[in-house]
Amino acid sequence: MTSINAMRFDEYSGMLVCDEARSWNEENGRILTAEKIRPITSEEVIKATGAVVLMGKTGTSTLGNEFLESTKQAVTARFRQMAEEHGLPLKRFMTVKEMAHFLFHNLCEVKRRHVDNTLKARYGFTSNDYIAGSYRNDKGERVEIADKTVVDQVHKILTWEGQCPESKAIFLNGQIVAGYEPEEGFRIFRSSLIAPHCEPVHEIYAADGSGVDSTDFVYTAFNNTRTVPERRGAIDRVEGLAVLLEALLMAGDNSAGCDGYVKIHYVNGREKDPVRRWKEIHDARSKLASEVVKAGLHGFLKWKKVHELLEALIYEDRPLLEVDDGLKRAATDSAAMLDLLRGHPHWRDRHI
């Protein structure tokens, strides 16, 4: 129950957006605290290498957090090791592709640890023991793993064959890795344990989570109408932002669990100062950006005005109230627009 999304604007820049809802328990509780997209390059790594790479996660919240944090620690550890071996500045660190695959291998390690927890509790051996066919118990005795039912059941847990419930929480996870690094520029990768893969994204976007039911229609419509040069690296950053927000709005309306404020991460490798290459926009500013797009979609603003307001709010950092006033002034019917923003249904107003 999530929407994570990334879009590449050009070879230097792109954007990632997500919602913040977390499903809490079997009673369908939800809470708006999830940080679904976070950097896997620490500030130390960003400053030293100029690489800004983020990961978006969907699936079991605790597992996703473990994947992300352990990968960030591992990337930092790798950086420190290389810095010690080769000295700073490094000629080369890791590309986005290498980080994506690094992440996937880290996922495998986390998966193995969690599966081993279940196997040890239930059967007294680990996955390595299982593969080897035997283990040593607490008394030091060698025990063959021979029982057919045990062999079959453990294989299901290891591989999620038949989507067995024991390992559902581990396997039902997907990731998007996107960001900029100086060697290859801005790239997007997606990976998943559901159907195990880690691959570059051919399109200019990646979307995952339950919200993809909705967001994919928006991105498809957008991509279908981009020219080849645009798709190869000339997407207008404001237009891209508007499409990402439109997609999140649709996900929020149509799919459960895509709620709360939008979190926006803008990555721009053109910034000379590496720390400024990553800009995080959240809370009221991202909420207002969503509202601007919503007003545009329902015909209260011309699209040119939507772009102007988004540029001012997100890229130029104009004060929030100034943009809010601008929104209300520019609306064709401010009272009706506020009705919409306060939740009154308005289907006839949608601009076609």
Partner 1 sequence: MGFVSSLKFDRHSGAVLVNEEFMNIRIRRKMFLDAAQSLLTPEMADAWGIEAVYAGCGSPSVNQEIIDGTRTALATRFAATAKGKDQTAAAPTVKDIGLMAGEVLQRLIHRDMDLKLHLFYGFTGDDLNRGSFSSDGSKFEIKQDKVKTKAHEILNNKYADRNTPLYNDTRGHIFGFDPATGISAYHLDVTNGNVGFNMEAYECLGHGKYALETSMAKFLNNVTYPMRQRGYCRLLGIYELFTAALAAREAFHCTGGNLDIVYVDGSQATHAERYREFNGEASRVAMHVVQAAETGYVTKKDAFELIDAALFEGRPRRQVEEDLFRRANNPRALDFVLRGYKVHEVAEMAATWDAEAPRPAASKRRNKK
Binding region for partner 1 (CB under 8 A): 1, 23-24, 27-31, 210, 213, 253-257, 261, 283-284, 287, 291, 320-321, 335, 338, 341-345
275 and 35 Cβ atoms separated by less than 8 Å: no
Closer of 183 and 339 to partner 1 (Cβ)? 339
d(CA 330, CA 351): 16
55 and 176 Cβ atoms separated by less than 8 Å: yes
Task: State the minimum distance, in angstroms, from the CB of residue 324 to partner 1.
Answer: 8
Q: What is the dihedral angle through the alpha carbons of 166, 69, 281, 346, rounded to the nearest 10 degrees?
A: 0
Q: Please spell the DSSP secondary structure of 34-62, one letter per residue.
A: ---EEESS-HHHHHHH--EEEEEEEE-HH
Closer of 116 and 324 to partner 1 (Cβ)? 324
**Residue (of 181, 237, 246) closest to 204 by Cα position:** 237
Closer of 1 and 94 to partner 1 (Cβ)? 1
Task: State the minimum distance, in angstroms, from the CB of residue 304 to partner 1.
Answer: 23
Task: State the minimum distance, in angstroms, from the CB of residue 181 to partner 1.
Answer: 34
d(CA 216, CA 338): 28
Closer of 29 and 229 to partner 1 (Cβ)? 29
Phi first, then psi, for residue 308 (nearest 5°) are -60, -45
92 and 99 Cβ atoms separated by less than 8 Å: no
Q: Is the dihedral of CA 65, 71, 75, 80 positive or negative?
A: positive
d(CA 293, CA 311): 12
Token reading at 283:
């809370």
Q: Please spell the DSSP secondary structure of 112-177, one letter per residue.
A: HHHHHHHHHHHTS--HHHHHHTEEE-TTS-EEE---HHHHHHHHHHHHTGGG-GGGHHHHSEEEEE
Task: State the minimum distance, in angstroms, from the CB of residue 204 to partner 1.
Answer: 25
Closer of 28 and 134 to partner 1 (Cβ)? 28
Task: State the minimum distance, in angstroms, from the CB of residue 200 to partner 1.
Answer: 27
d(CA 37, CA 68): 9
State the first-to-last Cα distance of the chain, in angstroms, to the nearest integer. Answer: 29
d(CA 335, CA 61): 40
Beta bridge partners of 181: 185
Reply yes or no: is the peptide bond before residue 229 cis, omega within 30 of 0. no
